[in-house]
Amino acid sequence: MRIFKTPGPIKYINCLLTAAMYFPGLEGVVVKETKICHIDLENSKIYYRGYDLEELAQYSTFEEVAYLLWFGKLPAGAELERFKAELMMYRKPPEHVDEAVKIAPKNAEPIDVLRTAVSAMALGEDLSDRSPEAELVRGLKITAAMPYIVASFDRLRRGSQPLHPGEAKSHAEYFLWALRGERPGEREVRALDVMLIIYAEHSMNNSAFTAVTVASTLSDMYAAITAAIASLKGPLHGGANVDAAKMLEEIGDAKRVESWVDQQLSRGRRIPGFGHRLYKKGPDPRLRVLRKLARDLASEKGDFKWVELAERLEEYVTAHLSQKGIYPNTDLYAAVIFKYLG
Protein backbone atom coordinates (compact mmCIF):
# COMPACT_ATOMS: atom_id res chain seq x y z
CA MET A 1 0.00 0.00 0.00
CA ARG A 2 2.77 2.41 0.95
CA ILE A 3 4.55 1.69 -2.30
CA PHE A 4 1.46 2.56 -4.31
CA LYS A 5 1.26 5.94 -2.56
CA THR A 6 4.81 6.84 -3.68
CA PRO A 7 5.37 4.67 -6.73
CA GLY A 8 8.91 5.50 -7.77
CA PRO A 9 9.61 3.39 -10.88
CA ILE A 10 11.99 0.91 -9.22
CA LYS A 11 9.88 0.48 -6.13
CA TYR A 12 6.85 -0.05 -8.32
CA ILE A 13 8.55 -2.84 -10.33
CA ASN A 14 9.75 -4.47 -7.10
CA CYS A 15 6.24 -4.36 -5.79
CA LEU A 16 4.88 -6.08 -8.92
CA LEU A 17 7.63 -8.70 -8.84
CA THR A 18 7.06 -9.43 -5.18
CA ALA A 19 3.34 -9.71 -5.75
CA ALA A 20 3.93 -12.11 -8.69
CA MET A 21 6.39 -14.21 -6.72
CA TYR A 22 4.09 -16.05 -4.39
CA PHE A 23 4.64 -19.79 -4.67
CA PRO A 24 2.19 -21.79 -2.54
CA GLY A 25 4.05 -24.25 -0.33
CA LEU A 26 7.33 -22.63 -1.49
CA GLU A 27 6.99 -24.71 -4.65
CA GLY A 28 10.16 -24.26 -6.71
CA VAL A 29 11.69 -21.78 -4.22
CA VAL A 30 15.32 -22.60 -3.47
CA VAL A 31 16.08 -21.64 0.14
CA LYS A 32 19.49 -23.23 0.56
CA GLU A 33 22.18 -25.24 -1.20
CA THR A 34 23.16 -28.52 0.42
CA LYS A 35 25.57 -31.39 -0.20
CA ILE A 36 23.88 -33.52 2.45
CA CYS A 37 20.98 -34.91 0.45
CA HIS A 38 20.10 -35.13 -3.21
CA ILE A 39 16.68 -36.25 -4.40
CA ASP A 40 16.77 -37.34 -8.05
CA LEU A 41 13.11 -37.21 -9.00
CA GLU A 42 13.65 -38.29 -12.59
CA ASN A 43 15.29 -41.56 -11.60
CA SER A 44 13.42 -42.00 -8.31
CA LYS A 45 16.60 -42.09 -6.23
CA ILE A 46 17.77 -40.48 -2.98
CA TYR A 47 21.43 -39.88 -2.12
CA TYR A 48 22.93 -39.04 1.27
CA ARG A 49 26.26 -37.26 0.71
CA GLY A 50 26.49 -38.96 -2.69
CA TYR A 51 25.70 -42.46 -1.41
CA ASP A 52 22.64 -44.27 -2.76
CA LEU A 53 20.15 -44.53 0.12
CA GLU A 54 19.08 -48.03 -0.91
CA GLU A 55 22.68 -49.22 -0.60
CA LEU A 56 23.08 -47.51 2.76
CA ALA A 57 19.87 -49.20 3.95
CA GLN A 58 21.23 -52.55 2.84
CA TYR A 59 24.86 -52.37 3.94
CA SER A 60 25.25 -49.73 6.67
CA THR A 61 23.95 -48.93 10.12
CA PHE A 62 22.18 -45.89 11.57
CA GLU A 63 25.37 -44.87 13.40
CA GLU A 64 27.41 -45.00 10.18
CA VAL A 65 24.75 -42.94 8.39
CA ALA A 66 24.55 -40.36 11.20
CA TYR A 67 28.34 -40.04 11.05
CA LEU A 68 28.20 -39.69 7.25
CA LEU A 69 25.52 -36.99 7.40
CA TRP A 70 27.31 -35.02 10.11
CA PHE A 71 30.95 -35.36 9.08
CA GLY A 72 30.61 -35.87 5.31
CA LYS A 73 32.30 -39.27 5.19
CA LEU A 74 31.70 -42.79 6.41
CA PRO A 75 33.60 -43.60 9.63
CA ALA A 76 36.87 -45.45 9.14
CA GLY A 77 38.70 -47.74 11.58
CA ALA A 78 38.20 -46.78 15.20
CA GLU A 79 36.03 -43.75 14.33
CA LEU A 80 32.80 -45.73 14.41
CA GLU A 81 33.50 -47.28 17.83
CA ARG A 82 34.47 -43.87 19.20
CA PHE A 83 31.28 -42.35 17.83
CA LYS A 84 29.15 -45.13 19.33
CA ALA A 85 30.90 -44.69 22.69
CA GLU A 86 30.12 -40.96 22.57
CA LEU A 87 26.45 -41.67 21.90
CA MET A 88 26.41 -44.11 24.83
CA MET A 89 27.95 -41.47 27.10
CA TYR A 90 24.97 -39.16 26.48
CA ARG A 91 22.13 -41.72 26.50
CA LYS A 92 20.76 -40.55 29.83
CA PRO A 93 19.78 -36.87 29.71
CA PRO A 94 20.49 -34.53 32.68
CA GLU A 95 18.51 -35.23 35.87
CA HIS A 96 16.06 -32.33 35.42
CA VAL A 97 15.07 -33.69 31.97
CA ASP A 98 14.46 -37.11 33.49
CA GLU A 99 12.27 -35.39 36.11
CA ALA A 100 10.34 -33.46 33.44
CA VAL A 101 9.53 -36.75 31.71
CA LYS A 102 8.48 -38.29 35.03
CA ILE A 103 6.01 -35.54 35.83
CA ALA A 104 4.46 -35.43 32.35
CA PRO A 105 0.77 -36.41 32.49
CA LYS A 106 0.36 -40.03 31.40
CA ASN A 107 -2.11 -39.08 28.68
CA ALA A 108 0.38 -36.72 26.99
CA GLU A 109 1.39 -37.39 23.39
CA PRO A 110 4.91 -38.92 23.32
CA ILE A 111 6.02 -36.40 20.66
CA ASP A 112 4.99 -33.54 23.00
CA VAL A 113 7.02 -35.09 25.81
CA LEU A 114 9.99 -35.45 23.47
CA ARG A 115 9.69 -31.81 22.31
CA THR A 116 9.50 -30.59 25.93
CA ALA A 117 12.43 -32.77 26.99
CA VAL A 118 14.67 -31.55 24.15
CA SER A 119 13.77 -27.97 25.04
CA ALA A 120 14.57 -28.68 28.70
CA MET A 121 18.01 -30.03 27.72
CA ALA A 122 19.06 -26.40 27.08
CA LEU A 123 18.41 -25.43 30.72
CA GLY A 124 21.48 -25.31 32.89
CA GLU A 125 23.92 -25.71 29.99
CA ASP A 126 26.32 -22.89 29.13
CA LEU A 127 25.20 -22.02 25.60
CA SER A 128 27.65 -19.18 25.02
CA ASP A 129 29.82 -21.25 22.66
CA ARG A 130 27.80 -21.34 19.44
CA SER A 131 30.62 -22.66 17.26
CA PRO A 132 29.69 -25.45 14.79
CA GLU A 133 31.77 -27.86 16.89
CA ALA A 134 29.83 -27.00 20.08
CA GLU A 135 26.48 -27.25 18.27
CA LEU A 136 27.48 -30.62 16.85
CA VAL A 137 28.09 -31.93 20.38
CA ARG A 138 24.62 -30.66 21.32
CA GLY A 139 23.21 -32.49 18.28
CA LEU A 140 24.94 -35.64 19.45
CA LYS A 141 23.55 -35.24 22.97
CA ILE A 142 20.00 -34.79 21.62
CA THR A 143 20.26 -37.76 19.25
CA ALA A 144 21.71 -39.98 21.98
CA ALA A 145 19.06 -39.09 24.57
CA MET A 146 15.96 -39.40 22.37
CA PRO A 147 15.53 -43.19 22.68
CA TYR A 148 15.77 -43.01 26.49
CA ILE A 149 13.30 -40.09 26.68
CA VAL A 150 10.65 -41.72 24.48
CA ALA A 151 11.05 -45.18 26.01
CA SER A 152 11.02 -43.79 29.58
CA PHE A 153 7.78 -41.96 28.99
CA ASP A 154 6.15 -45.03 27.49
CA ARG A 155 7.27 -47.19 30.43
CA LEU A 156 6.06 -44.62 32.97
CA ARG A 157 2.63 -44.35 31.36
CA ARG A 158 2.38 -48.17 31.46
CA GLY A 159 3.25 -48.16 35.16
CA SER A 160 6.92 -49.32 34.96
CA GLN A 161 10.14 -47.53 35.75
CA PRO A 162 12.58 -46.08 33.15
CA LEU A 163 15.40 -48.35 32.08
CA HIS A 164 18.92 -47.61 30.82
CA PRO A 165 20.22 -50.70 28.97
CA GLY A 166 23.91 -49.76 29.01
CA GLU A 167 24.92 -53.00 27.22
CA ALA A 168 22.95 -52.18 24.07
CA LYS A 169 25.22 -52.16 21.03
CA SER A 170 23.33 -49.74 18.81
CA HIS A 171 20.85 -46.89 18.83
CA ALA A 172 18.08 -49.19 17.56
CA GLU A 173 18.83 -51.91 20.09
CA TYR A 174 18.99 -49.37 22.90
CA PHE A 175 15.56 -47.99 22.04
CA LEU A 176 13.76 -51.35 21.76
CA TRP A 177 15.46 -52.64 24.90
CA ALA A 178 14.69 -49.49 26.92
CA LEU A 179 11.09 -49.65 25.71
CA ARG A 180 10.41 -53.34 26.35
CA GLY A 181 12.66 -54.06 29.29
CA GLU A 182 14.23 -57.06 27.54
CA ARG A 183 16.85 -57.51 24.87
CA PRO A 184 15.20 -57.43 21.42
CA GLY A 185 15.94 -59.95 18.66
CA GLU A 186 18.53 -59.16 16.00
CA ARG A 187 16.05 -58.98 13.11
CA GLU A 188 13.84 -56.50 14.94
CA VAL A 189 16.86 -54.37 15.77
CA ARG A 190 17.90 -54.42 12.12
CA ALA A 191 14.35 -53.46 11.01
CA LEU A 192 14.37 -50.40 13.28
CA ASP A 193 17.93 -49.61 12.20
CA VAL A 194 16.80 -49.51 8.56
CA MET A 195 13.82 -47.29 9.48
CA LEU A 196 16.20 -44.88 11.22
CA ILE A 197 18.43 -44.79 8.11
CA ILE A 198 15.43 -44.17 5.86
CA TYR A 199 14.09 -41.35 8.06
CA ALA A 200 17.49 -39.78 8.82
CA GLU A 201 17.42 -37.17 6.06
CA HIS A 202 15.09 -35.84 3.40
CA SER A 203 16.50 -32.55 2.21
CA MET A 204 14.51 -29.37 2.96
CA ASN A 205 11.37 -30.96 4.40
CA ASN A 206 9.14 -28.94 6.72
CA SER A 207 10.96 -29.87 9.95
CA ALA A 208 14.44 -29.34 8.45
CA PHE A 209 13.30 -26.01 7.02
CA THR A 210 11.98 -25.04 10.47
CA ALA A 211 15.25 -26.03 12.15
CA VAL A 212 17.29 -24.08 9.61
CA THR A 213 15.05 -21.02 10.04
CA VAL A 214 15.58 -21.06 13.81
CA ALA A 215 19.31 -21.78 13.51
CA SER A 216 19.75 -18.93 11.02
CA THR A 217 18.99 -16.43 13.82
CA LEU A 218 22.06 -17.84 15.64
CA SER A 219 19.82 -19.49 18.17
CA ASP A 220 21.09 -22.81 19.59
CA MET A 221 20.73 -26.45 18.58
CA TYR A 222 18.19 -27.25 21.35
CA ALA A 223 15.97 -24.41 20.11
CA ALA A 224 16.27 -25.48 16.46
CA ILE A 225 15.46 -29.14 17.19
CA THR A 226 12.61 -28.26 19.56
CA ALA A 227 11.04 -26.25 16.73
CA ALA A 228 11.72 -29.04 14.23
CA ILE A 229 9.91 -31.56 16.45
CA ALA A 230 6.96 -29.18 16.68
CA SER A 231 6.82 -29.16 12.87
CA LEU A 232 7.33 -32.91 12.59
CA LYS A 233 4.37 -33.57 14.88
CA GLY A 234 1.82 -32.33 12.34
CA PRO A 235 -0.37 -34.99 10.70
CA LEU A 236 0.64 -33.71 7.27
CA HIS A 237 4.31 -34.44 8.11
CA GLY A 238 5.77 -36.95 10.61
CA GLY A 239 2.48 -37.29 12.49
CA ALA A 240 1.16 -39.12 9.43
CA ASN A 241 2.78 -42.38 10.54
CA VAL A 242 0.78 -42.27 13.78
CA ASP A 243 -2.41 -41.63 11.80
CA ALA A 244 -1.48 -44.38 9.32
CA ALA A 245 -1.11 -46.84 12.22
CA LYS A 246 -4.52 -45.77 13.59
CA MET A 247 -5.97 -46.20 10.09
CA LEU A 248 -4.62 -49.78 9.84
CA GLU A 249 -6.25 -50.59 13.19
CA GLU A 250 -9.53 -48.94 12.22
CA ILE A 251 -9.75 -50.81 8.90
CA GLY A 252 -8.64 -54.01 10.59
CA ASP A 253 -8.96 -56.28 7.54
CA ALA A 254 -7.80 -55.99 3.90
CA LYS A 255 -11.38 -56.80 2.81
CA ARG A 256 -12.61 -53.51 4.33
CA VAL A 257 -10.13 -51.29 2.49
CA GLU A 258 -12.43 -50.28 -0.39
CA SER A 259 -15.42 -49.29 1.76
CA TRP A 260 -13.22 -47.45 4.28
CA VAL A 261 -11.35 -45.46 1.63
CA ASP A 262 -14.58 -44.63 -0.28
CA GLN A 263 -16.14 -43.35 2.92
CA GLN A 264 -13.12 -41.19 3.83
CA LEU A 265 -12.92 -39.67 0.36
CA SER A 266 -16.65 -39.01 0.21
CA ARG A 267 -16.25 -37.05 3.45
CA GLY A 268 -13.39 -35.03 1.88
CA ARG A 269 -10.79 -36.56 4.21
CA ARG A 270 -7.16 -37.35 3.36
CA ILE A 271 -5.74 -40.85 3.54
CA PRO A 272 -2.68 -40.87 5.86
CA GLY A 273 0.49 -42.24 4.26
CA PHE A 274 -0.44 -40.96 0.80
CA GLY A 275 0.64 -37.87 -1.13
CA HIS A 276 3.91 -35.97 -1.10
CA ARG A 277 5.11 -32.51 -2.09
CA LEU A 278 7.85 -34.04 -4.26
CA TYR A 279 6.64 -37.43 -5.43
CA LYS A 280 3.83 -36.57 -7.83
CA LYS A 281 4.72 -39.01 -10.61
CA GLY A 282 5.17 -42.22 -8.68
CA PRO A 283 5.60 -43.64 -5.17
CA ASP A 284 8.19 -42.43 -2.69
CA PRO A 285 11.51 -44.13 -3.67
CA ARG A 286 12.03 -45.26 -0.05
CA LEU A 287 9.10 -47.64 -0.44
CA ARG A 288 11.27 -50.06 -2.44
CA VAL A 289 13.15 -50.75 0.80
CA LEU A 290 10.18 -50.51 3.16
CA ARG A 291 7.75 -52.81 1.30
CA LYS A 292 10.34 -55.59 1.42
CA LEU A 293 11.20 -54.89 5.05
CA ALA A 294 7.50 -55.04 5.98
CA ARG A 295 7.10 -58.37 4.11
CA ASP A 296 10.23 -59.83 5.78
CA LEU A 297 8.97 -58.86 9.24
CA ALA A 298 5.54 -60.32 8.45
CA SER A 299 7.12 -63.68 7.42
CA GLU A 300 9.29 -63.64 10.51
CA LYS A 301 6.22 -63.14 12.73
CA GLY A 302 4.00 -65.43 10.62
CA ASP A 303 1.43 -62.62 10.55
CA PHE A 304 0.64 -60.97 7.21
CA LYS A 305 -2.35 -58.95 8.35
CA TRP A 306 -0.78 -55.48 8.42
CA VAL A 307 1.36 -55.82 5.33
CA GLU A 308 -1.53 -57.19 3.26
CA LEU A 309 -3.73 -54.36 4.45
CA ALA A 310 -1.13 -51.77 3.41
CA GLU A 311 -0.60 -53.46 0.05
CA ARG A 312 -4.34 -53.41 -0.65
CA LEU A 313 -4.53 -49.76 0.41
CA GLU A 314 -1.62 -48.92 -1.87
CA GLU A 315 -3.33 -50.63 -4.81
CA TYR A 316 -6.78 -49.13 -4.23
CA VAL A 317 -5.81 -45.57 -3.33
CA THR A 318 -3.28 -45.39 -6.17
CA ALA A 319 -5.92 -46.57 -8.67
CA HIS A 320 -8.25 -43.82 -7.46
CA LEU A 321 -5.90 -40.90 -6.79
CA SER A 322 -2.80 -41.30 -8.98
CA GLN A 323 -4.39 -39.05 -11.63
CA LYS A 324 -4.10 -36.28 -8.98
CA GLY A 325 -0.44 -37.20 -8.32
CA ILE A 326 -1.21 -39.05 -5.09
CA TYR A 327 0.95 -42.14 -4.38
CA PRO A 328 1.93 -43.87 -1.13
CA ASN A 329 4.66 -42.27 0.99
CA THR A 330 7.13 -43.62 3.57
CA ASP A 331 4.70 -43.29 6.45
CA LEU A 332 2.33 -45.95 5.14
CA TYR A 333 4.87 -48.77 5.40
CA ALA A 334 6.60 -47.20 8.42
CA ALA A 335 3.28 -47.69 10.23
CA VAL A 336 3.24 -51.36 9.20
CA ILE A 337 6.83 -51.87 10.39
CA PHE A 338 6.15 -50.10 13.70
CA LYS A 339 3.08 -52.28 14.24
CA TYR A 340 5.18 -55.42 13.74
CA LEU A 341 7.76 -54.01 16.16
CA GLY A 342 5.03 -53.50 18.74
Ligand X SMILES: CC(=O)SCCNC(=O)CCNC(=O)[C@H](O)C(C)(C)COP(=O)(O)OP(=O)(O)OC[C@H]1O[C@@H](n2cnc3c(N)ncnc32)[C@H](O)[C@@H]1OP(=O)(O)O
DSSP code at position 163: -
Residue 84: how many other CB atoms lie within 10 Å: 19
First to last CA, the chain: 57
Residue 96 catalytic? no
Instruction: Give just the sign of the alpha carbon dihedral 246, 248, 253, 257.
Output: positive
| Single-letter residue type at 175 | F
DSSP string, 329-340: -HHHHHHHHHHH
Nearest to 338 by CA among 257, 244, 205, 197: 244
Interacting span for ligand OAA (CB under 6 A) from 59-67, 199-207, 241-249, 260-268: 199-207
Catalytic entry in 38, 164, 276, 320: 276
Dihedral, CA atoms, 317, 323, 324, 330, nearest 10 degrees? 50
CA distance 88 to 312: 41
Residues 31-50 interacting with ligand X (rule: CB under 6 A) = none
Tell me: does residue 226 bind ligand X (CB under 6 A). no
In the bound state with ligand OAA, the residue whose beta carbon lies nearer, of 122 and 326, is 326
Mapping DSSP to helix (H, G, I), strand (E, B) and coil, where does residue 51 land?
strand
Among 11, 130, 187, 277, binds ligand X (CB under 6 A): 277
Residue 276 a catalytic site member: yes
Binding of ligand OAA by 277 (CB under 6 A):
yes
Given the complex with ligand OAA, which of 60 and 207 has the nearer CB atom? Answer: 207
Query: Binding string to ligand OAA for residues 307 to 336, with x set by CB under 6 A, is what?
Result: ----------------------xx------
Q: Which of 147, 165, 184, 238 touches ligand X (CB under 6 A)?
A: 238
Smallest gap, in angstroms, from Cβ of residue 64 to ligand OAA? 19
Is 273 near ligand X (CB under 6 A)? yes
Contact between 41 and 281 under an 8 Å Cβ cutoff? The reply is: yes
Report if residue 205 touches ligand OAA, rule: CB under 6 A.
yes
Which residues are catalytically annotated?
Answer: 276, 331
Which residues contact ligand X by CB under 6 A?
Answer: 25, 236-238, 240, 270-277, 321, 324, 326, 329-331
